[in-house]
Amino acid sequence: MLPTPVVAAVLAPLVLWRMVSRIKRLTTRQRSKTWRHRTTLVFFPLLIVLLAVLSIQTNPFALVGLAAGLPVGAILGRIATGKTRFEQVGDAFFFTPHAPIGMAVALLFMARMAWRAYEFYALGSFAHREFVSSPLTLVIFGVLAGYYMTYAFGLLAWRKRTA
């Protein structure tokens, strides 16, 4: 197995690149692709169910965190959808997300994941709690999932209204 510093050195640039590309997508005009919105509406509920099942086995209180985060994310997603700029150019559909809300949700999740990585690598706590047993992590994931599902639903509703 590779030493921890080597793994961190290899993973850090990849993670930073994904963070930058995610933030860039939250601030620029994007082409609306219904397959992407539908994928979000399938992927996140499946992930929520998986995390719920796993958290019941490890720490039922973490499930409460997940359940608390989902409506907060849904409210933020609804607000962001209302502030999104929609455009139709010929047959193409575009949207410009409301950057402050999307960035706040994404950065909150990224900060939590960075903290979990710090706990794992820097503190050497290889026996740390599992991902799904942390109520705070699942609250933040719930906010992220609720936001993205509501936003994807709003984008599909807009496409249906304009098509």
Question: The dihedral of CA 26, 149, 82, 37: what is its sign?
Answer: positive
pLDDT bucket at 3, cuts 50 / 70 / 90: low
Residue of 108, 117, 118, 111 whose CA lies nearest to 145: 108
Q: Distance (Å, rounded) from C-alpha 40 to C-alpha 153?
A: 9
Length of the chain: 163
What is the pLDDT, as a whole number, of residue 124? Answer: 64
What is the pLDDT, as a whole number, of residue 1? Answer: 47
In this predicted model, which residue has the larger pLDDT, 95 or 120? Answer: 95
